[in-house]
Structure 1
Amino acid sequence: MDLDVFVAAHRAEWERLDALIRRRGRLTGAEAEELVRLYQRVATQLSQLQSSAPDPALASRLTTLVARARSAVVGSRRATWRDALLFFTVRFPAACYRTRHWWVPTALLFTAVVAALGWWIADDPQVRASIAAPDELREMTRPGGAYESYYSSSPAAAFSAQVWTNNAQVAGMSLAFGALLGLPVLWVLLQNAVNLAAGLGLMASADRLDVFLGLILPHGLLELTAVFVAAGVGLRLGWTVIDPGPRRRTTALAQEGRAALGMAVGLAAVLLVAGAIEGFVTPSGLPTWARIAIGVAAEVAFLLYVFVVGRRAVAAGETGDVAAADRPVEAPVAA
């Protein structure tokens, strides 16, 4: 495509569309029809430009013009409580279900790595000695030591907020770093696996594995599942960079990226529940079985939410992307 010829051929249409958008007062019937017609033409021209002769400056100008024209044609739309309800009952569970082939294997592999590392630490004194001095290890694993006192080190509400913020950052990093071929996501997962395995192995070596599991399982099941979902989505986004499938790479990244941003909001809500459990249930005086039962119930509820509600939404055609009216206009263009 000759860019200068393209601009010369369509500049008059762009200027006319801009003039109609800026027109004060009501348009006549003929002007409204012209606005719609020009909006459709310029949207097609934008697609042609992006696919054949990408020019950042011109593409940015036309993108802004098309967005303003779409707003003039369909009107602006404000987010409502109905949008939030639709997100949490349809789009978010659908997005989680669509990415299950990424985060379920991630969860299984993570669990296997933690179990192997934990067994290694518990079985090998030299490995434990490389972590900390014997006196420090005894202080961490004794009754009332660091592993137990951690969950009651702050008031429950403040502790829950702190935990939620930290976990939301981990999930957000996994989602954001996915575009970098997913490699940083693997590093985040490895760090979390090593930290969890260290606690598992050290408490097991002190014959206090039951105490450790009683502390980690109530909140850890749901918390780690949210991290796995975020990591799986990040890895999927990274793979989209490598293999976008039949879509253009920019289109594929835009679609998956919008879904990932939406999932960040949904996972923040899931992690808020996990943080509340960690702040109020984990350090509570409830029997161990009752605390674990609460954690298992929260985990089962989330899995049913994904694999029942999400599966139905996907079967109905939902992808987890934003509403069609909020997506950029894309027109089919011959290669």
Structure 2
Amino acid sequence: MDLDVFVAAHQAEWDRLGVLLRRGRRLTGAEADELVLLYQRTATHLSQLQSSAPDPALTSRLTTLVARARSAVVGARRATWRDAALFLTRGFPAACYRSRHWWVTTGLVFTIVVAALGWWIATDPGVRSSVAAPQELREMTRPGGAYESYYSSSPAAAFSAQVWTNNSQVAGMSLAFGALLGLPVLWVLLQNAINVAAGVGLMASVDRLDVFLGLILPHGLLELTAVFVAAGTGLRLGWTVIDPGPRTRRAALAVEGRAAIGMAIGLALVLLLSGVIEGFVTPSGLPTWGRIAIGVVAEVAFLAYVFVLGRRAALAGETGDMTARDRPDEVPVAA
């Protein structure tokens, strides 16, 4: 594309669009029709420019012009409580359902790795000695030791807030790192698997695995599921970089990236619930079966939310992305 020829051919249309967009100008019916036509043409020009002859200054100018024109054509829209309700009942569960193959597989692999590492730590004294000194291991695993006292080390509300913040950061990192081909996501998962496996193995080595599971399962079922969803979504985003499918890589990343941002918000709410359980239920005086039952109910409720509500929304065409009127325009471009 000859940029000078392109600009000369369409400059008059851009200038005219700018005139129609002036503040305070009341348009006639004919001018409104002209605004829509020029908006469509300029959007096409911008797409052609970005794909064939990217020029930073001209691209910036046309991007601004198209954004102003789009606002004038479709009108400004403010988010409402209805948008939040639609997100929680359709967008978020549908996004979780669409990525189910990624996060369910992630969860299964994570569980296998934790079981293998936990068994290794529990049965090999040499491995345990590399974790910590014998006296430190006894302090961690004894009745009332570090593993048990951790959950009551702070007031419940403060502890819940701390746990929620930490887990939200882990989930956010998993989602954000997905764009880097998903490799950092695998590292985050491995670190978490090692931490969980250490607790499993060390407590099993002193025949107190039941105590450890009674402490971790009430909140851990929902918490780890949320981490799996975040990691699976991040890995899916990384795969989109490699294989965008029939869409352009930019368009595919935009769609999956916007859905991932929405999932970060939804998962923060899920992790808030698991943090409340960890802060108030895990260290409570309830019997072990009662604490685990609460965790199982929370987990089953989330899975039903995803596989019933989310499946229904996904089959209806919901993807977790913005609504059609909020998404930026995508104009086809000749290859």
Which TM-score applies when normalising by structure 2? 0.98
Report the equivalent of 2:151. Answer: 151
Displacement of 1:104 in angstroms is 0.6
Report the equivalent of 1:91. Answer: 91
Displacement of 1:19 in angstroms is 1.9
Whichever residue aligns with residue 308 of structure 1, its letter is V
In the alignment, the residues of structure 2 paired with residue 59 and residue 252 of structure 1 have an alpha-carbon distance, to the nearest angstrom, of: 21
Whichever residue aligns with residue 265 of structure 2, its letter is V
- State the identity as a percent: 84
Give the secondary structure class of the aligned counterpart of 2:246. Answer: coil
Displacement of 1:14 in angstroms is 1.4
Report the equivalent of 2:327. Answer: 327
Displacement of 1:323 in angstroms is 0.8
Report the equivalent of 1:21. Answer: 21
Report the equivalent of 1:12. Answer: 12
Report the equivalent of 1:263. Answer: 263
Report the equivalent of 1:115. Answer: 115
In the alignment, the residues of structure 2 paired with residue 97 and residue 295 of structure 1 have an alpha-carbon distance, to the nearest angstrom, of: 21
Deviations 1:155-191 (A, max 9, x none): 1011000000000000000000100000000000000
Q: Is residue 166 of structure 2 the alignment partner of residue 166 of structure 1?
A: yes
Report the equivalent of 2:251. Answer: 251
Report the equivalent of 1:175. Answer: 175
- Give the alignment of 1:165-204 within 5 angstroms: 165-204=165-204
**Structure 2, gaps ≥5 residues long:** none
Q: CA RMSD in A?
A: 1.0
In the alignment, the residues of structure 2 paired with residue 63 and residue 329 of structure 1 have an alpha-carbon distance, to the nearest angstrom, of: 11
Whichever residue aligns with residue 272 of structure 1, its letter is L
Displacement of 1:58 in angstroms is 2.5
In the alignment, the residues of structure 2 paired with residue 55 and residue 167 of structure 1 have an alpha-carbon distance, to the nearest angstrom, of: 42
The count of residues paired between Structure 1 and Structure 2 equals 335
Give the secondary structure class of the aligned counterpart of 1:22. Answer: coil
Displacement of 1:57 in angstroms is 3.3
- Give the alignment of 1:122-141 within 5 angstroms: 122-141=122-141
Displacement of 1:333 in angstroms is 1.8
In the alignment, the residues of structure 1 paired with residue 56 and residue 121 of structure 2 have an alpha-carbon distance, to the nearest angstrom, of: 54
In the alignment, the residues of structure 1 paired with residue 81 and residue 193 of structure 2 have an alpha-carbon distance, to the nearest angstrom, of: 38
Give the secondary structure class of the aligned counterpart of 2:247. Answer: coil
Displacement of 1:34 in angstroms is 1.1
Whichever residue aligns with residue 108 of structure 2, its letter is L
In the alignment, the residues of structure 1 paired with residue 319 and residue 200 of structure 2 have an alpha-carbon distance, to the nearest angstrom, of: 38
In the alignment, the residues of structure 2 paired with residue 102 and residue 55 of structure 1 have an alpha-carbon distance, to the nearest angstrom, of: 38
Displacement of 1:21 in angstroms is 1.3
Whichever residue aligns with residue 136 of structure 1, its letter is E
Q: Is residue 63 of structure 2 the alignment partner of residue 63 of structure 1?
A: yes
Whichever residue aligns with residue 60 of structure 1, its letter is S
In the alignment, the residues of structure 1 paired with residue 66 and residue 320 of structure 2 have an alpha-carbon distance, to the nearest angstrom, of: 24
Which TM-score applies when normalising by structure 1? 0.98
Give the secondary structure class of the aligned counterpart of 1:326. Answer: coil
Deviations 1:132-168 (A, max 9, x none): 0000000000111100110001110110000000000
Whichever residue aligns with residue 129 of structure 2, its letter is A
* Structure 1 residue ranges, 4+ long, deviating more than 6 angstroms after superposition: none
In the alignment, the residues of structure 2 paired with residue 176 and residue 8 of structure 1 have an alpha-carbon distance, to the nearest angstrom, of: 42
